[in-house]
Structure 1
Amino acid sequence: MATQTEVLKLLQQTAPDYCSGDQLAQQLGLSRTAIWKAIQGLQTTGYAIESRHGLGYRYLENNQLDMTTIKSQTNSSQPYELIVLPTVDSTNAYLKRLATREPLTNPVVVVADTQTAGYGRSGRNFYSPSTTGLYMSIGLPIGPQQPLDAGLLTTSTAVVVARTLQQLFHVEVSLKWVNDVLVNHYKVVGILSEAVTDLESGQISTVIVGMGFNLTTQGFPTAIEHKAGAIAGPQSTVTRNQVISTLLTDFFAGYPTYMTGDFLPAYRQLSMVIGKQVELKSGADVILGTVQDIDATGALVVLTTNGQVRHLSSGEITKVNLLTGDYHG
C-alpha cells in the first residue's frame, strides 16, 4: 500500500503528462516489476491511470474520493486529519462519536461517498446518494478559553462554500440565511453546525460544521424535488476531490479570523433575503417582516410587521416573498 501511495503521488505531480516506468522506478528505488504491480493495484481500486507503450503512465482525474489527492491539492499550513469513508450514517454523527470518545487536538475532516442517515436542521433527512453528492464535516477543537461564535462560524462557512462553487463551477450563488446555499433558486448545499460538550467541565469542546452538496444529483424524492437542485449537470468535469481541497484551503485560511466578521460584506452581497419580506420561525414564534440587514454577529435584522426591529441569531426562514417568484425553497 505504501508503494502504491508513493507511485500515485508521483503520477499526480506529473499529470497530465506521462511518466515512464523507468522514471518511477529510479525515483522510488524500486524495480520495474514493483512499479507495474503498484499500477495494477491502483487501477483495481478505482484510480484512472492510463498506460501507453513508449510513454509510460499518467494519472487521470476521476470522481472517486481519494485522501492522497485531497491532501496534495489542499494548500494549507493547518495540520488536520482526513478520514474518507465509502459510507456512513452521517458525517456529523461520526465526528460527534469521535469527539466524545477522545477530545480532538487538531481539526478532523470526515468525507463520505454516501450517508445512510444524513440530516439537516431540526433532524430533517438529507438526501445523500453516492457519486453525485458530497458529504463532509469539519470537527474543530475548542479550547477552554477559546472564544466561539456559532452564528459567525456558520455564516463564514456559507461564504467559503459560495466561493468554492463560483470558482469551480462558474455559477451564480445566493445564500438564504442562515445555512442554505442556492444556485438557480434551488437549494444545492445545506450547512449544519453542532457542538460537542465536555461532560466534566460542561464546556463546548468541539464544534462540527457539516456540509451536504448536491453536485450533479438528479431524481430527488418527491418531498423535496420542488426546492432541491444540482450545482451542475451530469457532464461536469469538476471532481469531488477538487471541491473538497478548494473548500478546505479557503476554510482554513479564514478560520483564524472568522470572529472579526471580515467576511460579512461578502455574505451580505450574496444574501437573497436582504430587502425581502419573510416569514421566520424562531422557537415557538412565527415572525413576519422585512429583512433589513445581517448585523456584525451574523444575526438577521428584521423590521416586523408591528414596527419592531429584531436581531435574530437563530431561527429558520420558512417563506421568502421575491418579486421574481423564482425561489423554490
Structure 2
Amino acid sequence: MSTQTAVLTLLMQAAPDYCSGDQLAQQLAVSRTAIWKAIQGLQNEGYSIESRHGRGYCYVDNNQLSQPAIMQGITGPTTPTVIVLDQVDSTNAYLKRLATKQPLTMPTVVVANTQTGGYGRFGRAFYSPSETGLYLSIGLPIMAGMPFDPGLLTTSTAVVVAKTLRDLFDVPVELKWVNDVLVNHHKAVGILSEATTDLESGRISTVIVGIGINLTTPANEFPNGLQTKAGAVTTQTTVTRNQVVSKLLSYFFAGYATYTTGDFMADYRQLSMVIGQQVELKSGDQLIYGTVQDINAAGALVLALPDGTQQSYNSGEITKVNLITGDYHG
C-alpha cells in the first residue's frame, strides 16, 4: 500500500476527527515530509482534506470516487476486489478483457467516473457523463458445478438496485422487465449481464453484471431522443457516489449466495410496473402483444395472449407498455 493510500485510509477511519501530521507519521513509520506530500497528492486528485493549525488533517467525503472509501463502506459476507477508474471505454468491456487474460478467482468490481463507449442491450450506446453518473460492473467467477441462472441474476440485481435507491434517496422506484429501473416514470438505471466462456471446456467461466446509473444528470443534458424516456435518480443530494456503490455491493453480495432460489421474487413483483398491463414484447424477430399476468419464479414474463392462451418468455424486450394508470408511455 502506498503512503498516499495509507494516509487516506487512516483519515477516513478517523473522520470527522482530525489527525496530526506527527500522529500519521508515527503510525506509518514515515517522515512528516512524506505525510505532507501524501496530503498534497490526495488534494490534487480531488479528495477533500481539511488542514487546521494545531489539529492536523481531516477527511471530508465528497463526490470523488475512491477505492478506499468504497471498501470501507462495504458490509456483509463478501469483500470483492474493487478497481476505480476515472475513464474507461466500458466497465463491462474492461472486465471482459481482464477475465480473458486471467480467469477471475474472486468477485471483482470495476467502477468508473465516465465511459467513452458505454453500452446496453443490443449494443445500444449508454450515455455516461462524468460526475453526475455512476458506472460499475461486477465480475463473478463461475466455478465448475456452481449453480447459475442468468434470468434470476438479472432480476435479483434489479431488486438490489431498487432497494439501494429507495434507502439512500427515498424515491419511487419501479422495474420494467427485465433490466430497466425507473424513478419517477423515467429510466434511471440500466442493467446488462454478459458472460465469458472458457475456450477449453466451453463452459461459462465469468459472469459480468453491468450497472449504469443516471444519478444527478440534468434532463436537458441527455441526448435527443432520450430526454423524454431517461431521467436521473435525483436532482441534488448529499449522498456520495462512494456511498451508493458501497450500499449496492453490500446488498448484492448479501443475496448472491441464494439468488438461484428466487427468494427475492416477491419483492420484484411488488416493484414491477408491467404486471397487469398491456405490452408489446420483442422476442427475436417476433412482436408479441399481450397482458402481463405475472413474473414467474424463474423470472420469466407470463403473458395472456389475444387468443386466450398463456405463454412464458425467458428473454426479450418490452418495447411498449400501455399503462392503464400512470405517466409512463415508453
Q: What TM-score comes out, normalization by structure 2 length?
A: 0.96
SS at match of 1:230: coil
Report the equivalent of 1:285: 286
Counterpart AA for 1:260: T
Q: Give the root-mean-square deviation of aligned CA atoms.
A: 1.3
Q: Aligned partners of 2:43 and 2:247: how far apart in 1? A: 25
SS at match of 2:226: coil
Counterpart AA for 2:222: F
Report the equivalent of 2:203: 203
Q: CA deviation at 1:268?
A: 0.6
* Equivalent of residue 231 in structure 1, options 222, 230, 233: 233
Q: CA deviation at 1:77?
A: 3.4
Higher deviation after alignment, 4-13 or 153-162: 4-13
Report the equivalent of 1:177: 177
How does 1:295-310 map onto structure 2 within 5 Å? 295-310=296-311
SS at match of 1:216: coil
Report the equivalent of 2:223: 221
Report the equivalent of 2:314: 313
Contact 1:278–1:319 at 8 Å: present in 2 too?
yes
Contact 2:321–2:329 at 8 Å: present in 1 too?
no
CA gap of 1:101–1:27, structure 2 versus 1, over 3 A, is closer
Q: Aligned partners of 2:263 and 2:326: how far apart in 1? A: 32
Contact 1:277–1:321 at 8 Å: present in 2 too?
yes
How does 1:4-15 map onto structure 2 within 5 Å? 4-15=4-15
How far does the alpha carbon of each residue in 1:91-132 deviate from its partner, in whole angstroms, 9 at most, with x for none? 111111211222111111111111111111111110011111
Contact 1:79–1:106 at 8 Å: present in 2 too?
no
How far does the alpha carbon of each residue in 1:268-317 deviate from its partner, in whole angstroms, 9 at most, with x for none? 11100111111111111111111111101011111111111111110011
SS at match of 2:42: helix
Q: CA deviation at 1:26?
A: 3.3
Q: Aligned partners of 2:264 and 2:3: how far apart in 1? A: 43
Contact 2:216–2:233 at 8 Å: present in 1 too?
yes
Counterpart AA for 2:162: A
How does 1:99-178 map onto structure 2 within 5 Å? 99-178=99-178
- Percent identity, aligned pairs only, is 70
Report the equivalent of 1:264: 265
Higher deviation after alignment, 287-296 or 78-87: 78-87
Q: Aligned partners of 2:240 and 2:329: how far apart in 1? A: 27
SS at match of 2:88: coil
Q: Aligned partners of 1:23 and 1:117: how far apart in 2? A: 44
Contact 1:186–1:328 at 8 Å: present in 2 too?
no
SS at match of 2:3: helix
Report the equivalent of 1:52: 52
Equivalent residues, number: 328
Q: Aligned partners of 1:55 and 1:102: how far apart in 2? A: 46
Counterpart AA for 2:248: L
Q: What TM-score comes out, normalization by structure 1 length?
A: 0.96
SS at match of 1:307: coil
Q: CA deviation at 1:72?
A: 1.2
Counterpart AA for 2:276: G
Report the equivalent of 1:71: 71
Higher deviation after alignment, 174-183 or 276-285: 276-285
Contact 2:322–2:329 at 8 Å: present in 1 too?
no
Q: Aligned partners of 1:106 and 1:199: how far apart in 2? A: 20
Report the equivalent of 2:251: 250
How far does the alpha carbon of each residue in 1:217-260 deviate from its partner, in whole angstroms, 9 at most, with x for none? 12100021110000011x31111111111111111111000001
Report the equivalent of 1:324: 325
Q: Aligned partners of 1:5 and 1:76: how far apart in 2? A: 23
Question: Which consecutive residues of structure 1, in runs of 5 or more, have no partner in the other structure?
Answer: none
Counterpart AA for 1:252: F
Question: Which consecutive residues of structure 2, in runs of 5 or more, have no partner in the other structure?
Answer: none
